[in-house]
Amino acid sequence: MKDGILAIDQGTTSSRAILFSPEGDVIALAQQEFAQIYPRPGWVEHDAEVIWATVISTARDALKAGRKAGWRAACAGITNQRETAIVWDRKSGQAIHNAIVWQDRRTAERCREIEACGARPEVAAKTGLVLDPYFSATKFAWILDQVDGARERARKGELCFGTVDSFLLWRLTGGKVHATDATNASRTSLYDLKAGRWDEGLLETFDVPARGLPEVRDCAGAFGRISKKVLGEEIPLTGIAGDQQAAAIGQACFAPGEAKSTYGTGAFLLLNTGTEMVASQNRLLSTIAYRIGGETAYAMEGSVLSAGATVQWLRDGLGLFSKASEIEALARSADPDSEVVLVPAFTGLGAPWWDADARGAILGLTRGAGRAEIAQAALDSTAFQTGDLLTAMAGDGMKTVSLKVDGGMAANDRFLQRLADLTGVEVVRPVNTETTAWGAAFLAALGAGMFRSIEDGRALWRADRAFAPEMASAERERRNAVWAEAVGRVRSR
């Protein structure tokens, strides 16, 4: 048996498991989608047991297929949807409430109350984040307040809370390890990025008891061993990172100024700022890119709440096509002079607006507009939002002329060309588009000693195709002005 690396990739709409070779080749892959739960408008939940079941099922399938091909998992890593909050019983491991997903906006009013108390500067200075329901802290507090007896149990130390990686690590190790990594911790609004610890003042501000939080560790290293009872074999778990940081690692964004943008359910642009935590003046986020060997690399991040989710809505909500992949051909047939604009603020707007109460709209409709024009507007909406992030980063002195891309939408050539045209930036797609899972696998291999340093990942990255801007600058500026007007019309303030 040859030594491979198992990556557990727990995402917003599906769980995936991939067995990689040390060179980054995919040996085996398994994936399962799962249901989204929408209790009320703006609320999004997941069943934690369904998350667990799909993770175990896909991991077992990938390991089985790998064995047939002559490969075993020498180590394993986890990457996960960030900010999604789970609270579970320390003894039984059972979640006391559905997971509250990162997209969920139920705590928007609580964020406004905290901001009214003057906490915004402290939160920004310590965490690099804005006050928004996107992050985990208010989600933890909401669950503790809404579930009978939960606050008292948390004070007694009977409950654990954490992001999805912590929940999976707890279950995979048979309840032996309650830990997280620095990237996931940096997305909770409770972690002081420079001090490298949970912050007592923030815990008090958000009313989250310290006893339930996980230990924060480096991204690569010994996290524990996956129990033989869980996957049929004992596997060292040696790497963890939130999905966007894992994608940046998979894209070899190791030097200051290198940037990637991942197009999944949402879209997330990370730009490496090196050992310096850069405070944005344009409502972008400062976050941890990775922490290895006790050394922290920081990043500036812009978050788009709806990218692939917009395509899903056209498919499932409007029925414009039966498969997401069909949007490329449909968009190519659109009238090139169409002025249709779609602002996908289904759960509000992310960076740089951070408007939880904004709602979506389709503008510029005429009798000549149809399925194709709406499909093109949906793809353009993600390109425009990426452009907003790049503009904000440039305003903070962080400009990039080339953008590495990955995620499901990166397979769409039409989208990538429009992305280059509407942003004026070269867009580069890698050969290995499984960058998020590969980032987790690379960290696991680094933690297990299969690689010597993070720079070993650079030699394994290869470009597939580059998309250069073709649109005239005057037309780009005009279309961006139309987009800006549309965003202004849906904003709540």
Q: What is the pLDDT of residue 328?
A: 87
pLDDT above 90 as % of the chain: 81
Q: What are the residues whose beta carbons fall under 8 Å from the beta carbon of 394, sequence distance 6 or more?
A: none
Q: Would strands 14-20 and 2-10 be described as parallel, antiparallel, or unpaired?
A: antiparallel
Q: What is the pLDDT of residue 42?
A: 85
Span 260-277, average pLDDT: 90
Q: What is the pLDDT of residue 399?
A: 80
How far apart CA 212 and CA 166 sit, in angstroms, is 11
pTM above 0.75, yes or no: yes
Between 278 and 84, the higher pLDDT residue: 84
97 three-class SS: coil
Place of tokens 């920081």: 298
Q: What is the pLDDT of residue 279?
A: 86
Pull the structure tokens for residue 269. Answer: 């642009």
CB distance 216 to 198 below 8 Å: yes
pLDDT digits (tens, 9 = 90+) for 453-483: 888 888 899 999 999 999 999 999 999 999 9
Answer yes or no: is pLDDT of 493 > 80: no
Q: What is the pLDDT of residue 138?
A: 97
pLDDT digits (tens, 9 = 90+) for 372-430: 999 999 999 999 999 999 999 999 888 887 899 998 889 889 899 999 999 999 999 99
- N-terminal to C-terminal alpha carbon distance within the chain: 60
Q: What is the pLDDT of residue 433?
A: 84
CB distance 153 to 91 below 8 Å: no
CB distance 167 to 86 below 8 Å: yes
pLDDT digits (tens, 9 = 90+) for 226-244: 999 999 999 999 999 999 9
User: Which range (5-9, 137-141, 289-293, 489-493) has the least confidence?
Assistant: 489-493
Q: What is the pLDDT of residue 356?
A: 81
Grade residue 357 by pLDDT with cuts at 50, 70 and 90: confident
pLDDT digits (tens, 9 = 90+) for 178-215: 999 999 999 999 999 999 999 999 999 999 999 999 99
